[in-house]
């Protein structure tokens, strides 16, 4: 029987071919989907990051770990998402220009969708203007969420938020949420975002609060 520990290890070691069966096995054995995600896969990515920082592994290994996690999340998806899609309005989501990290953003999308939003995912390396365009052209937009994972793209996040504000997004009643590992509440306040949360679960709770306030 696959355990949370084994799932974490498969992600850490980038065992792309083994992850789906292991996650399914764990689910079948009654292991909680949220625990598999948080204590298994997300924790494993933390270990991968630490090893990268210590020069024990390099970008290719990080990439394979990311691929492995994505495959594992696909199996978890039906167990995490709800079925009230779209009721709370539209949530525009993307990773800012210059940044290619999307695992965290995708998890935010998944949780936001299960909270009852229609999610429009603009992908990675998204120019500020594209966020503005989507916020103005999509139907019933309530929130724009932007993700940044690198200290070097925090400036890009700041530019995104300020471009959105300058384009009059807040006057349309649309809120701006930011997140990503290097982001803090203080930074979010400084750049003029309406909300920051440290993880996807809290993002869903906050989004619901903002959209129904």
Rule CB under 6 A: is residue 161 a binding residue for ligand B12? Answer: no
Rule CB under 6 A: is residue 180 a binding residue for ligand B12? Answer: yes
- As measured in angstroms, the least distance from the Cβ of 186 to ligand B12 is 15
Window contacting ligand B12 (CB under 6 A); options: 8-16, 55-63, 75-83, 163-171: 55-63
Measured CA to CA, the distance from residue 31 to residue 64 in angstroms comes to 25
- As measured in angstroms, the least distance from the Cβ of 153 to ligand B12 is 7
Rule CB under 6 A: is residue 42 a binding residue for ligand B12? Answer: yes
Do 46 and 69 touch, CB atoms closer than 8 A? no
In the complex with ligand B12, which residue's Cβ is closer, 59 or 213?
Answer: 59
**Contact mark string toward ligand B12, 57..76, x via CB under 6 A:** --x--xx--x----------
In the complex with ligand B12, which residue's Cβ is closer, 52 or 187?
Answer: 52
Strands (E), the chain: 90-95, 118-121, 141-147, 175-179, 195-196
What residues form DSSP beta bridges with 120?
92
Measured CA to CA, the distance from residue 23 to residue 19 in angstroms comes to 6
In the complex with ligand B12, which residue's Cβ is closer, 28 or 58?
Answer: 58
Query: Hey, how many other C-beta atoms are within 10 angstroms of the C-beta on 69?
Result: 27
Q: Which residues contact 17 (CB under 8 A, 6 or more apart)?
A: none
> Could you give the maximum distance between any two Cα atoms of the chain, in Å?
54
Q: Give the binding site for ligand B12 (CB under 6 A).
A: 42, 45-46, 48-49, 52-53, 59, 62-63, 66, 98-105, 107-108, 145-147, 149-152, 177-182, 197, 199-200, 203
């Amino acid at each position: 029987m696959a355990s949370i520990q084994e799932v974490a290890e498969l992600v850490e070691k980038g065992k792309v071919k083994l992850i789906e069966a292991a996650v399914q096995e764990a689910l079948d054995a009654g292991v909680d989907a949220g625990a598999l995600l948080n204590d298994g896969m997300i924790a494993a990515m933390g270990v991968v990051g630490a090893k990268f920082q210590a020069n024990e592994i390099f970008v290719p290994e990080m990439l394979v770990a990311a691929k492995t996690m994505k495959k594992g999340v696909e199996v978890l998806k039906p167990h995490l998402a709800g079925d009230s899609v779209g009721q709370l309005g539209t949530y525009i989501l993307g990773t800012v220009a210059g940044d290619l990290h999307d695992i965290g953003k995708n998890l935010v999308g998944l949780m936001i969708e299960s909270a009852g939003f229609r999610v429009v995912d603009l992908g990675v390396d998204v120019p500020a203007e594209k966020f503005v365009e989507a916020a103005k052209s999509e139907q019933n937009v309530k929130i724009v969420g932007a993700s940044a994972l690198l200290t070097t793209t925090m400036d890009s996040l700041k530019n995104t938020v300020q471009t959105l504000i300058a384009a009059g997004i807040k006057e349309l009643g649309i809120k701006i949420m930011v997140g990503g590992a290097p982001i803090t509440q203080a930074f979010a306040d400084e750049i003029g975002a309406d909300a920051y949360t440290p993880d996807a679960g809290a993002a869903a709770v906050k989004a619901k609060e903002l959209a129904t306030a």
